[in-house]
């Protein structure tokens, strides 16, 4: 397991995480910056984006530090309620596919028709990068540089969607994988999680339900 720290964590936070997960590699921002500045030097658009947004670390640092052919990339506001069979099957299958949480709305800074017109990519439209079964090889820095240089995905839509958009473009370009089933891996503004879900990503204003639903359900299981 690898924990990438965005430069804001205090030492005691990281020490607490290290006590909980003794096998974790913790990579501090200042350590990562030194390595990534060199790695991204030939890619000025990527470098500028990484300096500007912490979320870019998901896109650039994760493949740089990955020591395996496949990576399970998780946001901290995801909770698991059942055995993630699809993830375990992906591990067993030993293929080069990339799979994403499926969003309930289009949250990418480019429309599918634009992606097709500009790069000939059939874009998976509902990509959500909160839970990714990732083949890091799909993250092509030359292509990311091209996309960021083109401008549209940085200037249209939300800043926090840039990273998600690049994940979507890169993986759709490789065209191996897709979206996880929505009845098992939920991203929604629903008042309650659907019955039978494996995991829920508590996005946006349902973040409060991470406490009232997620911790309430999991506390007796994990600590009761």
Q: How far is the CB of 86 from other proteins (least distance, A)?
A: 13
CA distance 157 to 125: 14
Q: Which of 48, 53, 65, 173 binds other proteins (CB under 8 A)?
A: 65
Interface with other proteins (CB under 8 A), residue total 57
Q: Does 73 sit near other proteins (CB under 8 A)?
A: yes
Rounded distance between C-alpha atoms, residue 194 and residue 105, angstroms: 17
Give the list of residues 6+ apart from residue 145 with CB closer than 8 angstroms, or none: 43, 44, 45, 46
Q: Which distant-in-sequence residues (6+ apart) come within 8 Å of 199 by Cβ?
A: 78, 79, 80, 81, 82, 84, 131, 184, 185, 186
Taking CB under 8 A as the rule, does residue 20 contact other proteins?
A: yes
| Rounded distance between C-alpha atoms, residue 156 and residue 34, angstroms | 30
Write each residue from 78 to 107 as x if it is in contact with other proteins (CB under 8 A), else as -, in one continuous string. xxxx--x------x--x-------------
| By CB under 8 A, residue 143 contacts other proteins | no
Report the Cα 109 to chain-centroid distance in Å: 15
Residues in the chain: 224
User: For residues 44 and 40, what is the distance between their CA atoms, to the nearest angstrom?
Assistant: 7
When asked if residue 74 is in the footprint of other proteins (CB under 8 A), the reply is yes
Among 36, 47, 57, 148, interactor with other proteins by CB under 8 A: 57
Q: Judged by CB under 8 A, which stretch of 96-104, 151-159, 164-172, 205-213 contacts other proteins?
A: 205-213
Chain residues that interact with other proteins, rule: CB under 8 A: 1-6, 8-10, 12-14, 16-17, 19-23, 54-55, 57-58, 61-62, 65-81, 84, 91, 94, 208, 210-212, 214-216, 218-219, 221-223
């Amino acid at each position: 397991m690898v924990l990438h720290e965005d430069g804001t964590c205090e030492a005691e936070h990281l020490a607490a995480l290290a006590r909980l997960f003794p096998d974790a590699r913790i990579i501090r921002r200042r350590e990562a910056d030194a390595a990534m500045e060199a790695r991204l030097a030939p890619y000025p658009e990527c470098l500028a984006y990484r300096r500007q947004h912490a979320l870019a670390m998901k896109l650039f640092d994760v493949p740089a530090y990955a020591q395996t052919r496949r990576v399970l990339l998780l946001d901290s506001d995801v909770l698991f309620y059942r055995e993630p069979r699809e993830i375990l099957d992906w591990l067993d299958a030993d293929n080069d596919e990339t799979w994403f949480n499926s969003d309930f709305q289009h949250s990418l800074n480019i429309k599918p028709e634009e992606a097709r017109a500009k790069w000939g990519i059939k874009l998976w439209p509902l990509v959500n990068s909160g839970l990714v079964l990732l083949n890091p090889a799909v993250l092509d820095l030359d292509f990311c540089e091209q996309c960021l240089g083109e401008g549209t995905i940085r200037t249209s839509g939300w800043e926090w969607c840039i990273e998600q958009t690049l994940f979507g473009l890169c993986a759709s370009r490789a065209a191996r994988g897709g979206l996880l089933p929505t009845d098992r891996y939920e991203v929604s503004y629903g008042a309650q999680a659907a019955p039978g879900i494996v995991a829920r990503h508590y996005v946006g204003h349902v973040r409060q339900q991470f406490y009232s639903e997620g911790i309430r359900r999991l506390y007796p299981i994990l600590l009761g």
